């Protein structure tokens, strides 16, 4: 996969994750997306961990991330 394809894949993942995070937290999806693009998923979860969100929401976000990564890996395997 080229660097451009990887970047596009990350953008698609970030938009999907930002939209679903918005549903859980109420934070604007565009703000979440911008943060993800700037700091990546590790920075996003560092921010979440430091926030005052309920532990159940933090756990759901982690589960969501794991699910989406698993789906992405399966999808990539099918299309290679």
Question: Model confidence over 24-57: pLDDT tens digits?
Answer: 999 999 999 999 999 999 999 999 999 999 999 9
pLDDT at 44: 95
Containing domain of residue 17, as a range? 3-78
Read off the pTM.
0.79
In DSSP notation, 32-52 reads: HHHHHHHHHHHHHHHHHHHS-
- When divided into structural domains, the chain yields a total of 1
């Amino acid at each position: 996969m080229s660097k451009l394809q990887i970047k596009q894949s990350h953008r698609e993942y970030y938009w999907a994750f930002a939209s679903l995070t918005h549903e859980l937290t109420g934070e604007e999806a565009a703000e979440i997306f911008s943060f993800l693009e700037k700091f990546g998923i590790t920075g996003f979860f560092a921010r979440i961990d430091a926030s005052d969100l309920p532990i159940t929401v933090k756990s759901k976000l982690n589960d969501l991330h794991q699910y989406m990564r698993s789906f992405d890996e399966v999808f990539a395997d099918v299309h290679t």
